[in-house]
């Protein structure tokens, strides 16, 4: 007789914090050698199964949560469970520092994460508390005042850190040059953005037009347009009005009819020694309402034309064939620009705005570009500058870029495709630093490939918030600014002083963080079909504009790269989209000048399941933005050593 000893082993189930593991084929925990133990993993609500540990070795489980274990030794088993992903947004302005601990890699947050927010002490900065629902000044509700705030993440959460510079500084302007009267118009912390007064906020000076403000009395300091944004320095600041003397009325030819004056021409001496022709707002107590047909046509002395607030019309051919005219100051009262008014003005590149009406677009989504411009203008280099439309606003997490490339700051210079790429290229060019990285990511619109100009007046919406932006935009590259001015001025007059804003919080200026990323939570379950990139986007005109801009960037010591817009796959496969875009991809590769800009990405890597998209096929939700940014990090890492 042979006696076989049957060994028995223990299967010990350890308790798991966020789920349970059950033995379902035995009431006990002892199994004969070679028997199988059937285990079932059951996660708690809001948790997912990651796998099972058997004697500290991780194994995957079946899709139903089951696992079959062949027992050949004593075993200790434990289920691994992870919380479902949740959105956590930390809202913070451009003062004060906060560290976040307890989050997972690259900012992904999970249900059950024990998060700790800690204020980093900064000289001169006071912490005012944590709020939900917005910043304190926007009606946010205080949820904590200690510098360390710990909580368990159980839902999508937005928490705002509120800071105040211990030293509030005053911004003033000289309201009356004759009496020296000074008016304070803002009290701000250092590095906060303020807005300069409008034309009508300053006492009038007879015989002069207010064209801007200067930080120095002798006009040798920083110059700003009327109504522009500025950065509060670490001290009180006084702005001095930049008054431009009007042409003497005896140097003007004009007629007065029905209580209004119309300029019909100028005499010798109307244009000053700097080439400036400044039209007065009144002649003998009568408002100047128009410039007549052919009034200044063919004049080679005029280099700068300043129109007065209150002017209504510019006549046909009023400035035709003025070869040296470079700069024109427009006013918001103007409602008519005649045919061929600026024809054959080859030097005309600079458009300026004398802002007299209250801002009405400063709360809306489109106006966010004004703050992004301030970041572009005032951050130190080197920077990673992202240039494109709303695919970047909705599709980038700049914190991920900062973590991956700590040498660089990030400027997400984007808002909507309606602006077109061309004006953005101009503004980047004027504010570039040596060592900057410029990344283009245009959507599939002709204006985003510089193949045509926008017909929308959206560009004026960000100018309405910060007229200084016009200084950096070349009218020759962007004739839409002149072509759409009257539509904008009309709409602003009709709406003023009512503010324009979108009731959807996603489309608001306050939804952007300091980098220029849209951080408002967004969910959408619609199937969004992609716009497949097509060959017609690539034109000789557009590619020349882009290549010329990138050549200028590289000559200033920057590097330029091209990546693809984020796209929803909708009901299509990656292969279908890529195959449909073959002609586009081939032309893009041919036409982009590889000496000045390199394509660093693959289209297929920027196609996303519709569940990660929002609103339109180019927009991502917060999860999609993280994934897209991680892919960009991989692509960029191959080029940034």
| Rounded mean pLDDT, 65-80 | 94
CA atoms of 9 and 32, how far apart (whole Å):
6
Residue 525: is the preceding peptide bond cis (ω within 30°)? no
Bridge partners (DSSP) of residue 243 are 210
pLDDT band at 555 (very low <50, low <70, confident <90, very high): very high
Question: Sheet of 19-23: strands edge to edge?
Answer: 19-23, 36-43, 66-70
Rounded to 5°, the CA angle 470-475-478 comes to: 100
Q: Interior CA angle at 246 toward 244 and 250, to 5°?
A: 160
What percent of the chain stands above pLDDT 70? Answer: 98
Q: Which two tokens stand for residue 346?
A: 């080859």
Q: What pLDDT is recorded for position 140?
A: 87
Average pLDDT, integer, range 410-417: 95
- Structure confidence at residue 91 (pLDDT): 86
Per the model's pLDDT, the better-predicted residue between 178 and 264 turns out to be 264
pLDDT at 179: 86
Please state the rounded mean pLDDT for residues 462-475.
Answer: 96
The token pair at 572 is: 């299509």
In the predicted model, is pLDDT for residue 105 greater than 70?
no
pLDDT band of 542, cuts 50, 70, 90: very high
In the numeric block, the tokens 């035995």 are attached to: 26
Question: How high is the pLDDT of residue 456?
Answer: 87
Residue-level pLDDT at 505: 78
Q: What is the mean pLDDT of the chain?
A: 93
- Mean pLDDT, rounded, for 498-524: 84
Q: How many residues does the chain have?
A: 641
Q: Assess whether pLDDT exceeds 60 at residue 2.
A: no
How, if at all, do strands 85-86 and 148-152 pair? unpaired
- Which residues in 443-475 are b (16+ Cβ under 10 Å) and which e? bbbbbbbbbebbebbbbbbbbbbbbbbbbbbbb
Separation of alpha carbons 90 and 115, rounded Å: 12
pTM, 2 dp:
0.77
Q: Residue 315 has what pLDDT?
A: 97
């Amino acid at each position: 007789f042979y006696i076989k000893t049957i060994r028995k082993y223990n299967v010990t189930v350890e308790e798991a914090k966020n789920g349970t593991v059950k033995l379902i084929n035995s009431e006990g925990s002892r199994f004969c050698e070679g028997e199988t133990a059937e285990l079932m993993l059951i996660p708690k609500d809001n948790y997912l199964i990651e796998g099972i540990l058997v004697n500290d070795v991780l194994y995957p489980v079946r899709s139903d949560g089951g696992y079959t274990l062949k027992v050949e030794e004593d075993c200790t088993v434990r289920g691994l469970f992870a919380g479902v992903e949740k959105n956590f947004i930390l809202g913070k302005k451009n003062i004060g520092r906060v560290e976040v601990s307890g989050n997972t890699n690259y900012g992904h947050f999970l249900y059950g994460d024990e998060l700790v927010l800690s204020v980093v002490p900064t000289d001169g900065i006071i912490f005012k508390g944590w709020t939900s629902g917005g910043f304190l000044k926007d009606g946010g509700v205080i949820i904590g005042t200690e510098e360390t705030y710990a909580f368990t993440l159980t839902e999508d959460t937005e928490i705002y850190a509120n800071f105040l510079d211990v030293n509030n500084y005053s911004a003033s302007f000289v309201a009356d040059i004759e009496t020296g009267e000074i008016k304070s118009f803002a009290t701000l912390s250092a590095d906060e953005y303020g807005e300069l007064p409008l034309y009508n906020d300053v006492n009038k000076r007879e015989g002069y037009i207010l064209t801007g403000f200067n930080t120095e009395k002798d006009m040798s300091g920083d110059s700003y347009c009327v109504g522009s944004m500025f950065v509060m320095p670490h001290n009180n600041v006084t702005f001095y009005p930049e008054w431009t003397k009007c042409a003497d009325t005896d140097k003007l030819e004009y007629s007065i009819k029905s209580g209004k004056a119309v300029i019909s021409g100028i005499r010798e001496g109307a244009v000053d020694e700097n080439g400036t022709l400044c039209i007065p707002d009144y002649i003998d107590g009568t408002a100047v309402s128009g410039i007549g047909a052919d009034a200044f046509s063919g004049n080679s002395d005029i280099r700068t034309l300043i129109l007065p607030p209150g002017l209504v019309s510019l006549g046909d051919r009023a400035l035709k064939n003025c070869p040296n005219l470079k700069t024109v100051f427009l006013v918001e009262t103007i409602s008519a620009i005649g045919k061929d008014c600026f024809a054959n003005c080859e030097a005309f590149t600079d458009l300026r705005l004398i802002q007299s009406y209250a801002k009405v677009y400063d709360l809306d989504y489109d106006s966010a570009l004004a703050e992004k411009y301030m970041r572009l203008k005032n951050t130190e280099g080197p920077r990673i500058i992202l240039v494109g439309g709303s695919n970047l606003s909705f599709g980038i997490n700049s914190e991920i870029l900062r973590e991956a490339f700590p040498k660089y700051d990030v400027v997400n210079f984007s808002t909507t495709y309606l602006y077109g790429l061309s004006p953005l290229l101009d503004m980047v060019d004027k504010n570039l630093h040596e060592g900057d990285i410029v990344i283009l990511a245009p959507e599939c619109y002709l204006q985003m490939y510089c193949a045509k100009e926008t017909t929308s007046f959206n560009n004026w919406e960000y100018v309405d918030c910060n007229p200084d932006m016009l200084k950096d935009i070349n009218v020759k590259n962007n004739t839409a600014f002149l072509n759409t001015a009257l539509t904008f001025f009309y709409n602003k007059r009709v709406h003023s002083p009512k503010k324009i804003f979108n009731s959807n919080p996603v489309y608001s200026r306050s939804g952007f963080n300091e980098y220029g990323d849209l951080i408002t939570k967004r969910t959408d379950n619609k199937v969004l079909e992609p716009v497949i990139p097509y060959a017609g986007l690539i034109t000789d005109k557009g590619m020349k504009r882009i290549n010329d801009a990138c050549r200028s960037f590289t000559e200033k010591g920057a590097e330029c790269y091209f990546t693809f817009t984020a796209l929803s796959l909708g009901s299509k496969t990656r292969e279908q989209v890529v195959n449909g875009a073959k002609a586009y991809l081939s032309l893009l590769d041919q036409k982009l000048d590889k000496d000045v800009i390199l394509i660093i990405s693959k289209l297929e890597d920027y196609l996303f399941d519709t569940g990660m998209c929002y609103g339109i096929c180019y927009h991502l939700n917060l999860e999609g933005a993280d994934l897209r940014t991680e892919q960009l990090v991989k692509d960029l890492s191959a080029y940034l050593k």
